[in-house]
Amino acid sequence: MSRSPSTLSRTKLPHPAKKGNGISNSGSRYLSPTTAAIRTALTMVLSLGGAGGSTASSPGFYTSLQARNPAELIAVDRGQIQSVGDRVDGTSSPVQRKSPIVLSHKKTTPVAIMKPEATSRLAAIPLEIGRTGPSVLRRERCGQGDVPSDVRWRDRLYSVFLFAAALAILSGCGSQGERERPSLEDAVGQMLVIGLPGERLNEETSAWLDEISPGGVILFDFDLPSGGAKPRNISSPGQLRALIADLQAKAPIPYFVAIDAEGGLVNRLKPEYGFVVDLPSHQTLGAGSPQATLAAAAGMAAQLSQLGINWNLAPVVDVNVYPESPAIGALGRSFSDDPDSVSAHAAAFAEAHAAAGVIATLKHFPGHGSAVGDTHLGVTDVTDSYVRDMELAPYRALIEDGHAGVVMTAHIVNRELDSQGRPATLSAPIVTGILRDELGFDGVVLSDDMQMGAIVEQYSIERAAVEAIKAGVDVILIANQLSDDPTDPIRVKRAILDAVTNGEISEDRIYESLARVLALKHGYGIYDPQAFGGNRVPWKC
């Protein structure tokens, strides 16, 4: 396979010293004994060579890129920005992966994006975040046969160790005076993402958020409960930045700030509000090249990052099995009826967001593209229309290629996948059996909105949330758009805590999800326990 015109090399060098990131002038990080031990283990595992392999081929070290212009090198691995290299001036500047913890994620200077050469070849010229997407960005996927088995093994082990590290941090702290781990109430709160009313944060909403202590919020432009008579969350860029700043200022742990910015009809940041990026629909993007999708998505991702939005509930990876599907095909929300094309465009979309430090979300698992009904409105059964190999193919490819940090579940019923006919979000055979065990996904599983008709027609929201966690879901989404009852999130949190008390859900199951949530926040620079002090955070390890 040919190399890019850029000069590529691999060099094992210490990471440059950074100020303000917990790194001393000598390049060493101030760590608790627990964290230091975890990072040492991670570094050792990531730098292991296979039998007969050389250090030069280890995915533990990034390929360095000779930039044409001065730039900050941002290394991107497994869909997450991992570390930042020093400024380059026409000479190769190597970047070493020291840990899975982000050191920096927002740059206004041109950057060059790289991935480990062991699993992909990615060439890029510098681009300017916030102005345009990458003008040249080529990713040549290697066939699975081109990737040595020891590399695939280490790639998988990397995710396992990252998750294990988060669990270890939660299980005990390295210094006196620090709490051993968060309370169950804190942990369950981090598993909730909720919608809230208003364009400004008032005392009533602030007290409501304090009672729930959620892990994140989701923002909308149109207020469904009032039919648009009341303002929701978005009216202008300046107003939105102010709202997000107020939210983050009061959050004990910085919030996920989520939004639906798929493009086309599903876009909360509309031009009439003053937002400059108008992303086309997935259907329109799918008719072009993945490179064009990457460039378009980079513009949206940069806009989200500048506003303070750190989580986009996109891309949609539903295959367009039934073009008239009311929630997907009929709305132009699918890239294609070809699974390979869906995978390629979704990968480009996710890469653009990772480069901007914004979380992307693959949805709606295990596939909504064949549905003749709409799960927003009621029970939707795809048992007879679902095409298993076709609809799982994008998830399989994107997970294997490291583009899946978050997967959102669908509320569809498929009796071929779950003989009891439970909605996928509430189905252990689907969430744990297929997504976790068969496809090997070890990131965050997010539910679709639990107030949708497909759920509330059959379950109370409290029972549905408990069943979802038992099935393997990590984060419960309560958008508060299809219900005007502000007590829904409060009752859900209490129901989950009661389920732990009565033994229906184990404490370990809660802390397992919390570990994934904090690893995701940490990996995207949303939360760094070493950066907060005093009473700002309820725990610090």
- Annotated catalytic sites, by residue? 376, 448
Q: What CA–CA distance (Å, rounded) separates 383 from 133? A: 41
Contact 468/492 with Cβ under 8 angstroms? no
Matching residue, tokens 């999708």: 293
Q: How many CA atoms lie within 13 A of 184 on its CB side?
A: 15
Please tell me what DSSP assigns to residue 410. Answer: P
Give me the DSSP letters along 136-193: SEEEEEPPGGGS-HHHHHHHHHHHHHHHHHHHHHHH--SSTTS-SS--HHHHHHHTEE
Closest to 352 measured CA to CA, from 290, 398, 408, 309: 290
Length of the chain: 541
CB 396 within 8 A of CB 439: yes
- Whole-angstrom Cα Rg for the chain: 22
Interacting residues of 537 by C-beta distance below 8 A, sequence separation 6+: 252, 253, 529
DSSP string covering 299-362? HHHHHHHHHT--EE---B----SSTT-TTTGGGT--S-SSHHHHHHHHHHHHHHHHHTT-B--E
CA-to-CA distance for 50 and 238, rounded, in angstroms? 52
**DSSP labels, 61-119:** BPPEE--SS-EEEEEEETTEEEEEEEEESSS----B---SS-S----SSEEEEE--TTT
Residues 6+ apart with CB under 8 A from 96: 12, 13, 14, 15, 60, 61, 62, 83
Bridge partners of 518, per DSSP, are none
Q: Would you tell me how many other CB atoms lie within 10 Å of the CB of residue 198? A: 14
Amino acid in position 100: P
